[in-house]
Structure 1
Amino acid sequence: MTKSFLLPDLGEGLTEAELVTWLVEVGDTIELNQVIAEVETAKASVELPSPYAGTVTALHAQEGTTVQVGTAIIDIADGSAAVEEAAKKEERVPVLVGYGVAGEGQSKRGHRKAPADTAAPADTAAAPIPAAAPTPAETAKPLASPPVRFVARQEGIDLAEVPATGAHGEVTRTDIEAYRTRQEPVAATPTKQETRTPIKGVRKHTAAAMVSSAFTAPHVTEFLTVDVTPTVEVLDKLRGTAHFRDIRLTPLALVAKALLVALRSNPSLNSAWDEANQEIVTKGYVNLGIAAATPRGLMVPNIKDAHTLGLKDLAQALNGLTATAKEGKTGPSDLADGTITITNVGVFGVDSGTPILNPGEAAILCFGAIRRQPWEFDGEIALRSVTTLSLSFDHRLVDGAQGSRFLADIGSILADPLNLVALA
């Protein structure tokens, strides 16, 4: 009996996904819950486990194409007994099913039936439905994570031509950069060129969300320049303590803590507009979003219940969130239910900006670069550490006075971190 596996609902109201990589091919024998493909939604990379055991008889989607939820993507002929017999003949490593980047560690490919006169490699991959039986060299597919494959597609690079240096034989982003550098001509004649990239995945989702936010919520942006020398000094002292010795403590952690404290007396900044019910929803919890630039584009994962965290736990959560986003392992649940956001443009050397609200949120704080510059201090001019904060807010939810007070409270804490003790 042959069963078709339909692309499942991946949550968060998503209706489509890009099929990035097949990890099986026609003729493979697969197990229940074996990862058969990597797909990329507008929010995350996801590994698809098979709901059936048996033999792959057909692949209905090509790599790089967008598939609608509910569409058949693979046919599997029932072969449970054969799978059990094959499992007895050799030791196998269990497959962990879930979100994340594939291509790390052992291959997730199933057992392929090799011709009697050919010893087919056990760890090769192939193009989706070959018209004729290819040779092993033609079917070999380089290992690479979805973000790396995305970069390669953007650059028009064939991963098969890139020397791999990853710990498990996978192509890394560093490998792609090195390959691209070697391919660039030493002296090229300037020509007009165009590169066209399909608008899909995270870029498509981000664009739609930003347009919706910009034309739905009336944005107001205010700016405040602050002498944060005391904050810089406190951070230096904390880094030298046993409590923070093994933790990467950045200015963003104190900015985040200042925002969380300031929200206690300014709850309107942690609210949402419910158009359907004509209600303002004020949240009694804070899921703090951090805008992050990732290989897949802009993402805003959030720290759940950030208002319950002390500075140490908050710093650890920020470090973990950022690392996960850069590795392309952010899952849909990490992106859902944010209540307020911080975007740190200072890491790019930028002083300030007018950020667009994350859809459904009342405010976003922009944290600029900290610079040493002349500043009035105690009636004299001194060299101080100065930064600019900007706050965009939804004027339907937040009055000018409320937004101004909230921004001023954050600035006050950063100008004198002792206020954290008084207000926390």
Structure 2
Amino acid sequence: MPKYQRFPLPDTAEGLTEAEILTWHVKPGDAVTVNQIIVEIETAKAAVELPCPWEGVVTELLVEIGQTVEVGVPIITIDTDPSGSAPAPVADAPVNGTSSGKIGEEMPGGRIATLVGYGPKAGAATRRTRKAPPVVAAAAPVAPAPVVPAPAPAPVVPAPGGPVPLAKPPVRKLAKDLGVDLHALTGSGPGGVITREDVERAQAPAPAPAPDTGARERRVPVKGVRRATAQAMVDSAFTAPHVTEFLTVDVTPMMELRARLKNSREFGGVKLTPLAFCAKAVVLAARRTPDVNATWDAATGEIVYKDYVHLGIAAATPRGLVVPKVRDADRMSLRELAEALDALATTAREGRTPPADMVNGTITITNVGVFGVDTGTPIINPGESAILAFGAIRDMPWVVDGQVVPRKVCQLALSFDHRVVDGQQGSQFLADVGTLMSDPAVALTY
């Protein structure tokens, strides 16, 4: 193996082309081991820590913090033979190679500790091609060319637009300074001579000075998660025909059940939130209306129905909106869902969501209630057919058995892709979710 190895920026998730260097965890002269974290990068999906594929000594950091780098471009050089016994040539790591050691081993919970590939797919461009300098061939001596006298300067031709306008030299200078075309003016002086007043009247009004707001404004480049989210929302809003329906639900029985379960031994130490009940209702209701869990495949002209639920949860993070997924949420118990949601929220806030958990969702919940918001018209996550907004739970007057009493009430809003989900199917799904949240015992009948 060559003495010096250059580590190229890998493709940490399918289709990514670039990433920003957030933090270097090593510096030149540091000794590194296989699988040691050497750098943290931010992609369009999330922040990712990259491990070192070799053991050796860092010789050079090729990219500065804050710089955006294309996939495949070397970012660090490592001396893999500090003792000096290996040859000196420098080699880039294989873009699609994988490292040894802990990478690839199964972690607790069934996850695989792995980078999702090193670099783009075979054949994809990684670096801009540099143009080779032109090759100049040696030529035989050539006799000097005869000296040809330079041509005489061409005569000055009047500007187009008719005959030369009549104006005195000071007026011509004024017109030039003010940017006024004398050909466009009609002189008001004797014999049609253009005067100073003619030029001043033709002058366009000076633009008003811009307000001095520079000290009260900030400009932040749009990149990373924010740029990816913006593009995804535009693509979804102008591709999928959105329909949004609303439902107000009395969730008093759900909140009473939550209070009982929190005090039970089975749920001891579990953060049991109303979102967990909502998530359970969504995955149960999706069984009865599989259309909301399907995908419109425009490339093949097919609707793809999925017999699993990868539940997306919209999460606000310091880097922007992300939608990590709970894999196979339909196979989880209420306790398992609650634990998964708690872990998902923690890793999302810290920016540590694995790239594999950011893709291939089937349906999404956005919990706007945590901000005290009642409802909204959510935009469908690209590649899915429905998203549910879960609003704040409030004490509100409600009619029960003919009497107005205070109850725990919330609003639900379902946006769905009308190419896949008809009004009847969307309404049925929303009604099922509402029923399961207003009377959790109904879940026994599903």
One-letter code aligned to 2:12: L
One-letter code aligned to 2:52: S
- Tell me if 1:272 matches 2:295: yes
Counterpart mapping for 1:8-87 below 5 A: 8-79=10-81, 81=83
1:20 and 1:231 mapped to 2: Cα distance? Answer: 43
What TM-score do the two structures reach when normalised by structure 1? 0.72
1:58 and 1:316 mapped to 2: Cα distance? Answer: 43
Counterpart mapping for 1:21-420 below 5 A: 21-79=23-81, 81=83, 193-420=216-443
Shift of 1:235: 1.1
Shift of 1:312: 1.3
2:397 and 2:84 mapped to 1: Cα distance? Answer: 76
One-letter code aligned to 1:50: C
One-letter code aligned to 2:29: G
Shift of 1:213: 0.8
Shift of 1:291: 0.7
2:191 match: none
1:51 and 1:246 mapped to 2: Cα distance? Answer: 39
Shift of 1:23: 2.1
1:316 and 1:24 mapped to 2: Cα distance? Answer: 35
**What is the DSSP-based 3-state SS (H/G/I as helix, E as strand, rest coil) of the residue aligned with 1:419?**
helix
Identity %: 56
- Per the alignment, do residues 35 and 97 of structure 1 end up closer, same or farther by CA in structure 2, a change over 3 Å counting? farther
List structure 1 segments (4+ residues) > 4 angstroms apart after TM superposition: 80-83, 95-98
**What is the DSSP-based 3-state SS (H/G/I as helix, E as strand, rest coil) of the residue aligned with 2:15?**
coil
Q: Deviations over 1:317-360 (max 9, x none)?
A: 11111122122211101112110000100010000011111110
Shift of 1:245: 2.2
2:277 and 2:289 mapped to 1: Cα distance? Answer: 18
**What is the DSSP-based 3-state SS (H/G/I as helix, E as strand, rest coil) of the residue aligned with 1:264?**
helix
2:434 and 2:341 mapped to 1: Cα distance? Answer: 21
Q: Deviations over 1:222-241 (max 9, x none)?
A: 00011111111111111121
**What is the DSSP-based 3-state SS (H/G/I as helix, E as strand, rest coil) of the residue aligned with 2:266?**
helix
Shift of 1:42: 1.5
- Per the alignment, do residues 47 and 96 of structure 1 end up closer, same or farther by CA in structure 2, a change over 3 Å counting? farther
Shift of 1:367: 0.3
Shift of 1:81: 4.2
**What is the DSSP-based 3-state SS (H/G/I as helix, E as strand, rest coil) of the residue aligned with 1:12?**
coil
Unaligned segments of structure 2, at least 5 residues: 86-100, 105-212
Q: Deviations over 1:264-291 (max 9, x none)?
A: 1100000001111111001000011111
- Per the alignment, do residues 34 and 234 of structure 1 end up closer, same or farther by CA in structure 2, a change over 3 Å counting? closer
1:307 and 1:251 mapped to 2: Cα distance? Answer: 17
- Per the alignment, do residues 62 and 338 of structure 1 end up closer, same or farther by CA in structure 2, a change over 3 Å counting? same
Q: Deviations over 1:388-423 (max 9, x none)?
A: 000000011100111011101111111211101222
- Per the alignment, do residues 34 and 236 of structure 1 end up closer, same or farther by CA in structure 2, a change over 3 Å counting? closer
1:249 and 1:57 mapped to 2: Cα distance? Answer: 50
CA contact (8 A) 1:47 1:97 kept: no
What TM-score do the two structures reach when normalised by structure 2? 0.69
2:435 and 2:240 mapped to 1: Cα distance? Answer: 28
One-letter code aligned to 1:327: E
Larger radius of gyration: 2
Unaligned segments of structure 1, at least 5 residues: 84-94, 99-189
Shift of 1:192: 5.4
Aligned pair count reads 321
**What is the DSSP-based 3-state SS (H/G/I as helix, E as strand, rest coil) of the residue aligned with 1:242?**
coil
- Per the alignment, do residues 320 and 80 of structure 1 end up closer, same or farther by CA in structure 2, a change over 3 Å counting? same
2:5 match: 3
What is the root-mean-square deviation of aligned Cα atoms in Å?
A: 2.0
CA contact (8 A) 1:223 1:390 kept: yes
The farther-off stretch of 355-364 and 373-382 is 373-382
